[in-house]
Structure 1
Amino acid sequence: MTSNAPSAARETEQLRELVASARVVLWDFDGPICRLFAAHRAEQVAVDLVEWLERQGPRGLLTESERETPDPQVVLRALARRKPGGGLVAALEERLTREELRAVACALPTPYADPLIRTWTAVGVRLAVTTNNSPCAVRAYLESRGLVGCFAPHLYGRTRHLDHLKPHPHCLHRALNAMGAAPATALMLGDAPSDLAAARAAGVPFLGYARHEGKARALRAAGAGHVVRSLEPLLHVLRGDRPVR
């Protein structure tokens, strides 16, 4: 325990610095706020999207790896690259939105996310959601938790312009512009390398959240300097709690 104490103290101090400089916090949705597909599995949604797409007639729109992906966003992006702006892309995006809305009913809140959101709001920090998920699903989830007032109207999610999905910084720029915030006064809280890339492109400091070691490794490999495995220490820092000795 003694050998870990200096490292823990440094991490706490780094969190304090990030929190102290943040006047605006840009949250990714699926991960830092909740596990959207906790029960309504993303893997099955991806399978269903692929099967639906193949029933529409065109062949060869997806590679083998894209057909087998567990991530429905990969299916949508792949089609958007090959059929940009088409009706088929719009229909697939609508299907994904419906699946995300279905998933809201059984989504699991990320531990400590709700009190962290409420505490940040209470101390006067403004919050926004910047996500690749549908803003309709984001609003439905936040309403179910009584949290929408902490964010609204700043919910910036997927639009029909799929080339603007993260790692493109478009949704971060929308949030910053709408809130009149300089990038250096903001903090992006995300759980994927695409979140980090978007934050870098927008000039926004980044804090990674990783609920398991695999995500932590991916974030660090992408260059994230600050990664937490739980939101609990962030909540303690925000509240000014003294460390338990």
Structure 2
Amino acid sequence: MTSDATSDAKLAAKEIEKLRKLTTPAQVVLWDFDGPICRLFAGHKAERVAADLVEWLELRGLRGLLTESERETLDPQVVLRAVGRRHPGSDLVTELEERLTREELRAAASALPTAYADPLIRTWTAVGARLAVTTDNSPRVARSYLETRGLAECFSPHLYGRTRQLDHLKPHPQCLHRALKAMGTAPAAALMIGDSVSDLAAAREAAVPFLGYARDEGKEKQLRTAGAEHVIRSLEPLLRMLRSGRPVR
């Protein structure tokens, strides 16, 4: 074995050991949905959904509800949050949230699974961990997608997502608190896997250990700049670690 290969092997072993130390106490794994589990808008593009929501507001004479940057956003959640801040609890927010949920359900039909997510979910369940979804997407959408992948039983009934209380979206830790309470688990005995700074902030607020998933260099930089200590670019090392036969709980 060359010196470079030896060095790479030692680095890989070191990273696996870090993952093992992080995951060993985790009796419960809280998964963000869009990112670590799948790419929700892989086929039904998020920017198109955002534009449609903006157009729907404009057709109702509500253009002034959004700032210029909000009208140009590529993220439909930005549109929903903006209206929610200005008209909390209103019928307008209820209807807009339902429209976004319908678009997310359409997106779920063409969502792409994150590499290694399906076998990792099944393996983690098989070795005794309990899993929950904690997401800013509709829980109906998470359930729809997981059912198509044959994964719903790995999480059921623990799917915690967007409600009409939009002030409880991440970085608010409400969905994490709901999951921990329902599962009777202390924060220190859980682990959250997320791909955004708001996931990291919610986990910190809930005192839950955090593992960042970054599918590209930009995402990784965002998470590390925000202070994430543990970030992986692939779920494969986690799967390999679980399949090694050594206990993770």
Q: TM-score per shorter chain, which class?
A: over 0.9
TM-score normalised according to structure 2 size:
0.95
Secondary structure, aligned partner of 1:94: helix
Which residue is 1:188 aligned to?
Answer: 192
Say if 2:101 is the partner of 1:97.
yes
State the AA in 1 paired with 2:241.
V
Say if 2:44 is the partner of 1:40.
yes
Q: Percent identity?
A: 75
| Count of residue pairs the alignment pairs up | 242
State the AA in 2 paired with 1:35.
R
Aligned 1:88-167 pairs, distance under 5 A: 88-167=92-171
Structure 1: gaps of 5 or more residues: none
Secondary structure, aligned partner of 1:85: coil
1:171 maps to which of 154, 175, 180: 175
Q: Could you say what the CA RMSD is over the residues aligned between the two structures, in angstroms?
A: 1.2
Contact 1:19–1:238 (8 Å) recurs in 2: no
Secondary structure, aligned partner of 1:189: strand
Report the Cα offset of residue 7 of structure 1: 3.4
1-10 or 80-89, which deviates more: 1-10
2: CA distance between counterparts of 1:190 and 1:3? 29
Say if 2:39 is the partner of 1:23.
no
State the AA in 2 paired with 1:112.
Y
2: CA distance between counterparts of 1:35 and 1:89? 25
Which residue is 1:9 aligned to?
Answer: 13
Report the Cα offset of residue 12 of structure 1: 1.2
2: CA distance between counterparts of 1:193 and 1:6? 30
Which residue is 2:67 aligned to?
Answer: 63
1: CA distance between counterparts of 2:155 and 2:33? 12
Secondary structure, aligned partner of 1:99: helix
Structure 2: gaps of 5 or more residues: none
1: CA distance between counterparts of 2:212 and 2:68? 31
Report the Cα offset of residue 241 of structure 1: 6.6
Secondary structure, aligned partner of 2:33: coil
Report the Cα offset of residue 59 of structure 1: 3.6
Contact 1:210–1:228 (8 Å) recurs in 2: yes
1: CA distance between counterparts of 2:54 and 2:11? 46
1: CA distance between counterparts of 2:63 and 2:44? 28
Secondary structure, aligned partner of 2:95: helix
212-221 or 56-65, which deviates more: 56-65
State the AA in 2 paired with 1:98.
R
1:199 maps to which of 203, 221, 239: 203
State the AA in 2 paired with 1:36.
L
Report the Cα offset of residue 20 of structure 1: 1.1
1: CA distance between counterparts of 2:11 and 2:87? 50
53-62 or 216-225, which deviates more: 53-62
Contact 2:188–2:207 (8 Å) recurs in 1: yes
What per-residue deviation string (whole Å, max 9, x for no partner) do you get for residues 42-79 of structure 1?
Answer: 01000001110111112411111111111000110011
Say if 2:82 is the partner of 1:78.
yes
Contact 1:83–1:89 (8 Å) recurs in 2: yes
2:225 maps to which of 221, 227, 230: 221
2: CA distance between counterparts of 1:4 and 1:240? 19
Aligned 1:223-242 pairs, distance under 5 A: 223-240=227-244
